[in-house]
Amino acid sequence: MKKVNGGVCAAKGFKANGIHCGIRKNRTKRDLSLIVSEVPATAAAVYTTNLVKGAPLLVTKAHLANGVAQAIVCNSGNANTCNENGIEVAEKMSEATAKALGISPDDVVVASTGVIGQPLDVTPIVAGLPALAAGLTENGSQAAAEGIMTTDTQLKEVAVEFTLSGKTCRIGGIAKGSGMIHPNLATMLVFITTDAKISPAMLKKALSSDVSDTFNMVSVDGDTSTNDMVTVLANGLAGNPEITCENEDFATFMRALNTVTVALCRMIAGDGEGATRLLECRVSGAADKATARTVAKSVICSSLLKAAMFGADANWGRVLCAIGYSGTAVDVSKIDVSFASAAGTIPVCRNGCGVDFSEEKAKAILSEKEIEILVCLNSGDETSSAWGCDLTYDYVKINGDYRT
């Protein structure tokens, strides 16, 4: 398995594009993206569990009921959520996309991201789709990734190559996400494509299983979005025997999918609104997987810990505090904590108590761009990781006037 270039266009038969159609005031920013498979593809998606859901999610869920899709259209700048005519707008986006591509509207995945509760005028989208479709290219992943960005400061795309039954396959993805990141069953907007051949049931199983240890383990600010969605299209053009059960090929596909999703998780967490540091909490020695996940997520969600990481302050007591209120039945007297980065590793807690350490060394370790918070519960063999970022002054500045 190796990383390759191309993002959502790395796999055979996929093209993409992104343009500025007029939703966003800044004409230098793309605000409409399109990803297309040259043939109908097996499709699966997971969605936010927020009771307030964007209209595009409801339309997409209906379209994917048969497990097939051929295109993904997404606008940025407006979430099309809590709008009286939201469903109508999302359906019109599907219809305009289908007309531009010569496919069925039911084979279109629709997504929107941006401000909640603002009416979305579909006119510029419909007007822009012919040019968007005409500009589709095998090198269009970056343009599509730019078109789905809101407060993101970094483009997020990745792809890997792997082998299934002797056939070379690829899987790649793009994502957007910087704020309102605390998913449950899905996260932000993530679009993944692959040329592997896999049945709808097994693709859904792969995605649902993967998000539990990847996207569900990311948190920037504790807010679960109304428009979170992860979608995977698999067009089968790699020519491998179809994956229809949990065999060796399915395990390989899962590893490839996980490589892509973990990479996107790290990109999303590291690009949190106002963030200066990527945080990864790695929990080991847990009695069970649920405990490991809960502890890792609780630590990464602690606002006090996130603020300490912004100040490069080795305030390890905040790690113990977060574990203590996580709701897990851990033995506090067995917990070990260390901080690590490219500058080294430093133990700060053993058996639930503090140990002597150099504040200067700790400061140097926590001043790096990527920080690891290592927690060992010493109660079993299960592990888990969660990703987040520090909490900075700029987070408040960005969200203080996000709408206006």
Q: Say which DSSP state 393 is in.
A: H
**Tokens representing residue 307 in the block:** 């603020």
CA dist 236 and 230 (Å) reads 19
Say whether 264 sits in a helix, a strand or coil. Answer: helix
Q: Buried (b) or exposed (e) across 105-123, using 16+ Cβ within 10 A?
A: bbbbbbbbbbebeeebebe
- Look up tokens 């504040």; give the residue: 359
Measured CA distances, 212 to 20, 169, 200, 203, 297 (Å): 34, 24, 19, 15, 11
| Helices 303-310 & 289-301 angle (0-180, nearest 10) | 60
What radius of gyration do the chain's Cα atoms show?
21
Q: Which of 42, 97, 113, 187 is catalytic?
A: 187
**Residue 193 annotated to the active site:** no
CA dist 235 and 192 (Å) reads 11
CA dist 69 and 234 (Å) reads 9
**Tokens representing residue 189 in the block:** 């907007």
Beta-sheet pairing, 229-234 with 344-350: unpaired
With beta carbons less than 8 A apart as the criterion, state whether 131 and 97 touch.
no
CA dist 350 and 332 (Å) reads 10
Cβ-defined contacts of 341-345 (< 8 Å, 24+): 341/365, 341/366, 341/368, 341/370, 341/371, 341/372, 342/368, 342/370, 343/367, 343/368, 345/374
Best CA proximity match to 233, nearest among 257, 209, 250, 210: 257
With beta carbons less than 8 A apart as the criterion, state whether 336 and 349 touch.
yes
Instruction: Tell me which residues are annotated as active site.
Output: 187
